[in-house]
Chain A
Amino acid sequence: SQQGEEDPQALSIQEGENATMNCSYKTSINNLQWYRQNSGRGLVHLILIRSNEREKHSGRLRVTLDTSKKSSSLLITASRAADTASYFCSSNGNQGGKLIFGQGTELSVKP
């Protein structure tokens, strides 16, 4: 089964609104990463949060991590139509190694 599970599977919002996506994972992690995928293209790394961090910011992105609940959230503020994409979380264990991806959240931002 997948290590990361995103919620919701699909999200539709208006431009200017905030978008929040959640991710749960099952085993202990070294870090958790979020990726973005435009339709039919390769994934692009957005942000990494380490297991000893609780919150991280990068531009309009804010990521939180709650290791006690094995969950993370990605907030995109002031969304734009160009943010329309699928967003995936992934994580790896304490010794590094392969990332396991969730099924993704499909975000649609309407102008």
Chain B
Amino acid sequence: DADVTQTPRNRITKTGKRIMLECSQTKGHDRMYWYRQDPGLGLRLIYYSFDVKDINKGEISDGYSVSRQAQAKFSLSLESAIPNQTALYFCATSTWGSGREDTQYFGPGTRLTVL
């Protein structure tokens, strides 16, 4: 079984709809991240969480919100989706210490299309 899973893997929705992307991990990591990837722009950080009670905005948090329901779960919501949120979304996990130094482990991605 994959260590970092994302659901759904693909989603097509309409402008104005609320969407939730979910991420679960079995790696026991304390840190979790949400990125979006657009062609030619690389990965951009949306939100990150260093533990259950710690949530931080990334570079492009406007239009997004997150919830860290447990150490293993980190959800990303688009309250009112718009077409320029069409992208590939990745969840990642990491931990610090014991020489691991924030090596990140990525989920398989969610391809979101907003019409």
Contacts and interface: CB of A to CB of B under 8 A. Distances in A.
Given A45-B103, A45-B104, A96-B96, A40 B109 contact: yes
Interface residues of B, number: 28
A109 B65 CA distance: 40
Contacts of A96: 96, 101-102
Given A42-B109, A88-B43, A104-B42, A99 B88 contact: no
Interface string A90-111: 1010001111111110000000
Interface string A31-53: 10101000011111100101000
A77 interface: no
Contact of B106 (A2, A33, A40, A42): A42
7 contacts: A31-B101, A41-B109, A43-B104, A45-B104, A96-B101, A98-B33, A100-B45
Interface of A: 2, 30-31, 33, 35, 40-45, 48, 50, 88, 90, 92, 96-104
Contacts of A30: 101
A33 B103 CA distance: 8
Contacts, number: 59
A34 to B, nearest CB: 11
B41 to A, nearest CB: 6
A42 B3 CA distance: 12
B104 A99 contact: yes
Nearest to B47: A98
B48 interface: yes
Given A96-B96, A103-B41, A103-B42, A45 B48 contact: no
A2 B59 CA distance: 10
B29 to A, nearest CB: 13
Contacts of A102: 42
Contact of A98 (B41, B42, B58, B90): B58
A45 B102 contact: no
* Among all A-B residue pairs, the 9 with the closest Cβ atoms: A42-B106, A103-B42, A101-B43, A96-B96, A43-B106, A45-B103, A98-B48, A42-B108, A31-B101
